Amino acid sequence: AQSVAQPEDQVNVAEGNPLTVKCTYSVSGNPYLFWYVQYPNRGLQFLLKYITGDNLVKGSYGFEAEFNKSQTSFHLKKPSALVSDSALYFCAVRDMNSPLLTGTASKLTFGTGTRLQVTL
């Protein structure tokens, strides 16, 4: 079974400071990892993903994430936070080696989300 943990319900950061939103995962094989952002009453927007290769993945809006296999983590980071970054952030995982769902659709498992609050 695959699972994702986001240990912090909320992260508070001052504008201009670096931010980190934590994510750890559990899979039996190798992971595909994703970060999404959700603004109030909106759908999820894709930020970035790790499939293979460089452990540091760069994504949209200046966000990046670092894949750490030994710590089974995929923390989201940004060097300088903006007030407009305030939103709900979700980490998701798919086991590369898990059996596919019927046909070729495959299942993403989401964390419970971390609310990022950036203040002036």
Partner 1 sequence: DGGITQSPKYLFRKEGQNVTLSCEQNLNHDAMYWYRQDPGQGLRLIYYSQIVNDFQKGDIAEGYSVSREKKESFPLTVTSAQKNPTAFYLCASSRADRTDTQYFGPGTRLTVL
Q: Which residues bind partner 1 (CB under 8 A)?
A: 9, 32, 34, 36, 41-46, 49, 51, 90, 94, 96, 100-108, 110-113
Of the pair 32, 63, the CB lying nearest partner 1 is at: 32
The neighbouring-strand residues paired with 36 are: 46, 90
Q: Closer to partner 1 at the Cβ: 63 or 90?
A: 90
Question: How near is the Cβ of 21 to partner 1 at its closest, in Å?
Answer: 14
CB of residue 66 to partner 1, shortest distance in Å: 19
Beta carbon nearer to partner 1, 15 or 64 = 64
Contact 27, 87 (CB under 8 A): no
Contact 76, 25 (CB under 8 A): no
